[in-house]
Amino acid sequence: MHETNEWITSLGIDLGTSTTKFIVSRLQISKVSSAFSLPSYKITKRLCTYKSQIYSTPLIDDETIDYTNIAKILEREYEEAGITLDDVHTGAVIITGETANKKNARIAVNQLAERAGDFVVATAGAELESLLAGKGSGAQDFSIQTPNQVVANIDIGGGTANTAFFLNGECIGTATLRIGGRLIRLNPAGFVKGMADSFKPWLEENGFLVKKGDQISFERIKQITDEMAKNLIGYLAQSSNDEHTQLLYIDPMPQSLPTVHTWMFSGGVGELMKNSERMTLEEGTRYGDIGPFLATSLNQLMKRSSFNVLSPKQTVRATVIGAGTQTTEISGSTVFIQNGNFPIRNVPVEKVHIQNEELESDQLDHIFSETIKKGLSLHSMGLDPAFALYLSGIDYCSYEKLKKIVNILENIYSQYLPNQKNIVIICQNDMAKALGHALSIRLNGKVNCLICIDQINIQHGDYIDIGQPLPSSIIPIIVKTLVFTSDA
């Protein structure tokens, strides 16, 4: 058997509150199985090969993303990076921080994803953002090198502070607070040019009565960022958590936080923390916001509290590198693909959790039809596939159980989705190929496309994009958690 060693190109685009960045990366897919087992492939290397400069995120006004100008930037960057649309196999556009709250966020990010290449996906959501930043900054790798110690990566951009906690390479939690460098915009003389609406309640509660047009002093700005730093670190280090901090929550907040051993700061503010020295009002407002002040406040606080702070490998580009290099997975070893018009985008996932006893009983029918009914009520009817079924919980799938599942699948699809032409099934167990064969025989040409994949890490409520299969039936999969804070 020949070794497969294939490279694919993956893009990352991060539309942040204050800045927009773009990267190109190369992912190596290699066969990791021996010649005697079922073939199995993994992404074995993730290299970042091109990094764009940092652009200010183009906005038409406070509420609207300037999509046309972003597209222009992208075009220029493609040229600079020496790639064309055809070269791009996969990638992700992530919309982060306050930008996700803009009126046209969902439209902008989806259009951009389509423009960026056939298989570049749109993602959003504070949890995902935290995770990607922590992977991109190098915090995850660092946690592998320091066993049994929690590493926290706090990615602070213009609008949010996204924290991911890593233990032995695993992300064990995330938390996001509305703390960022661009929540207040200033001119060099200290006049307030604007404020994020979402930040105003916190300012008021803390007695910082500032409004657009006010001139505020160096000391006053510093008081504000000191308080922001105190709220953020107080919450994350679990030393203080007053009702003021709760005004900064972006739901849902975790029940409990781990005790952190090492702290890393990435994002634009993380970058500024590397060399925040004494500065004048003019220097502090050089980006037209409070970013440098916040960086100084955080540095002072961390030093005072004698916390163990380490510089991450990547700061301002941590999220975009995470988005470009870490979002693509490949499906399990043996899969079933019959036709399919790839890429298949934005397929919502409905989970069917099967207990083993249920497989022996008649309840199985009921569980499947309930899931299908729920799926139909949640997702728009026009889509084909309306959703993917995720089969989980089976401990060992014998052929007898497989036959049972195939019978039920055939019944429910013909009963509830008779006109569906595309069926996508995801299995937690290694059983996708066998299921695909049995089901395709049973359906006997009733559907155009049947895809069964397995061994993908997926949660109920996720969306997946399924890419063009590579030789050897490797399918690139991107699991997306699409959460927009405001739906527009």
Which string of x and - marks every residue 149-178 that binds another protein (by CB under 8 A)? -------------------x----------
**Binding status of residue 339 toward another protein by CB under 8 A:** no
Site residues (CB under 8 A) for another protein, limited to 32-51: 35-39
Instruction: Tell the smallest beta-carbon distance from residue 428 to another protein (Å).
Output: 12
Site residues (CB under 8 A) for another protein, limited to 248-307: none
Residue indicated by tokens 């509830």: 416
Rounded to 5 degrees, what are φ and ψ at 368? -65, -45
Minimal CA–CA distance to 151: which of 16, 295, 312, 272? 312
From CA 265, how far away is CA 318, in angstroms rounded?
10
Stretch that binds another protein, among 213-221, 237-245, 307-315, 399-407 (CB under 8 A): 399-407
CB-nearer residue toward another protein: 87 or 141: 141
**Binding status of residue 445 toward another protein by CB under 8 A:** no
Stretch that binds another protein, among 7-15, 195-203, 302-310, 426-434 (CB under 8 A): 426-434
**Binding status of residue 422 toward another protein by CB under 8 A:** no
**Binding status of residue 2 toward another protein by CB under 8 A:** yes
Q: Are 285 and 301 in contact (CB under 8 A)?
A: no
Cβ-count burial 150-162 (b if 16+ within 10 Å, e if not): bbbbbbbbbbbbb
CB-nearer residue toward another protein: 2 or 278: 2
**Binding status of residue 472 toward another protein by CB under 8 A:** yes
Rounded to 5 degrees, what are φ and ψ at 429? -80, 165
CA atoms within 13 A on the CB side of 189: 5
Which of 20, 90, 334, 371 lies at the binding interface for another protein (CB under 8 A)? Answer: 334
CB atoms within 10 A of CB 130: 27
Instruction: Write the CA distances from 30 to 25, 45, 275, 380, 475, integer angstroms.
Output: 16, 9, 41, 38, 13
- Tell me if residue 291 falls in helix, strand or coil: helix
**Binding status of residue 398 toward another protein by CB under 8 A:** yes
The tokens describing 6, both together, are 């294939």
CB-nearer residue toward another protein: 137 or 455: 455
From CA 120, how far away is CA 384, in angstroms rounded?
20
Stretch that binds another protein, among 77-85, 255-263, 269-277, 390-398 (CB under 8 A): 390-398
Which string of x and - marks every residue 129-148 that binds another protein (by CB under 8 A)? ------------------xx
- The contact set with another protein (CB under 8 A) reads 1-2, 35-39, 147-148, 168, 334, 336, 396-400, 402, 429-434, 436-438, 440-441, 472
